[in-house]
Copies of this chain bind each other. A is one copy, B any other.
């Protein structure tokens, strides 16, 4: 297992990583990336300290292990890696009838990945071009990642995967089809793993910098965010043994569905604590403002509590109704997982609005920590940010800066959009929830209540 320092060193492998139009030579030393890379490095150190007993990357074999799906437990990149490994193992099982060799190939890959202590990014969303057309109908055939050449030892792929989290922080890119493919779209039915520093891979990143470059004003985002971006495959060679699907169009969706299962469960696990965090901030700021007993403030916090509890109820229900899969992995219930993901996502905007409402205008006009420390105006800042003897102006300023960083910053905007689209979008979540719901049982209940026979189909 690598140490955090070894991990940081491992990123210097020649990878082509870009930010704001520039190629970054040493990403671990870059001012915008360093603080979040450090968090990943800390994750390595934590796992090393825990030793093999941590079993962090093992498939969950019981409900207790499922509870630990929350990505934040170690660090987000370790979480992505866990999800990637589970996705490959689940999908290999599901496509075994069509491509039996995938199971061994995946098993070998998983062994290597764990032995080398790699981190793996989930590369799924294609650039998609005209959304009203299928992959094979696009004006530009590269709008979905595809095989452009077949050689003896492997294939050459071209295309781009978009909205990829933390690709620049990983060692490997798990590259899988974004959806089902049709006959004639065999070249688009490709699933494989590609090293980040493979020739032809380019990673173009977006990430919110700390506010005005001062980490102190952004205590939340500087530790929690991840870069997101485009992973471009500009004719990248993939050797045969790293290919898990090639041309089986009818199995192309199995990878996306497997990823969906694990990533939504992980998202939901995270969403529980995130919602509690919002409740906690709301209560802290109400107390700092001296308003925690005002009825309408209490009612608003009550609304936040209900929303947070509904999210957690779905997680608890998904765990309580988990089932042991054929391959010995404990699988969370998909109905409750999806409903919880949908609920927490749909509620995000209004929860943030309630939090902002409770904070008052100081949420955005609170001066910076540099102002607080300024000789010229620091005394005014401390004086007028304080509310009463027990609430020091500096404490209240830092509290408001943290909430601003969470809810009203560039990071806050990115987080809102990530929640909306991560794991498939609100619309998709609702479709999946309906698909997993036992509609026939509901119809039987209704017919029985009405005293009716089902009509002929």
Contacts and interface: CB of A to CB of B under 8 A. Distances in A.
A64 interface: no
A399 B409 CA distance: 20
Nearest to A321: B316
Contacts of A29: none
Contacts of A439: 279-280, 283, 305
Interface string A368-405: 10111110110011011111111110010011011110
A434 B370 contact: no
Given A357-B420, A374-B18, A421-B361, A413 B402 contact: no
A272 to B, nearest CB: 11
A214 B327 CA distance: 51
Contacts of A220: 449-450
A287 B360 CA distance: 32
15 contacts: A18-B376, A129-B388, A131-B291, A133-B290, A204-B381, A206-B364, A283-B442, A306-B343, A313-B339, A316-B317, A316-B321, A360-B425, A363-B417, A402-B446, A408-B413
- List the 3 closest A-B pairs by CB distance, nearest first: A408-B413, A21-B370, A280-B446
Contact of A413 (B383, B413, B430): B413
A432 to B, nearest CB: 10
A199 interface: no
Contacts of A273: 445
Interface residues of A, number: 159
Given A430-B302, A442-B277, A417 B356 contact: yes
A305 B437 contact: yes
Interface string A135-172: 00001101100000000000000001011100000000
Given A301-B434, A309-B314, 6 more contacts: A21-B371, A306-B343, A317-B317, A390-B455, A402-B450, A408-B410
A20 B406 CA distance: 20
Contacts of A6: none
Nearest to A293: B132
A115 interface: no
A349 B343 contact: no
Most chain B beta carbons < 10 A, residue from A421, A422, A442: A442
B374 A21 contact: yes
Nearest to A303: B430
Contacts of A395: 452, 455
Given A339-B313, A356-B416, A449-B402, A232 B277 contact: no
Nearest to A297: B427
Given A132-B290, A310-B343, A313-B313, A277 B449 contact: yes
A313 to B, nearest CB: 4
A222 to B, nearest CB: 10
A419 to B, nearest CB: 10
Contacts of A392: 455
Interface centre among A395, A403, A449 (most CB of B within 10 A): A449
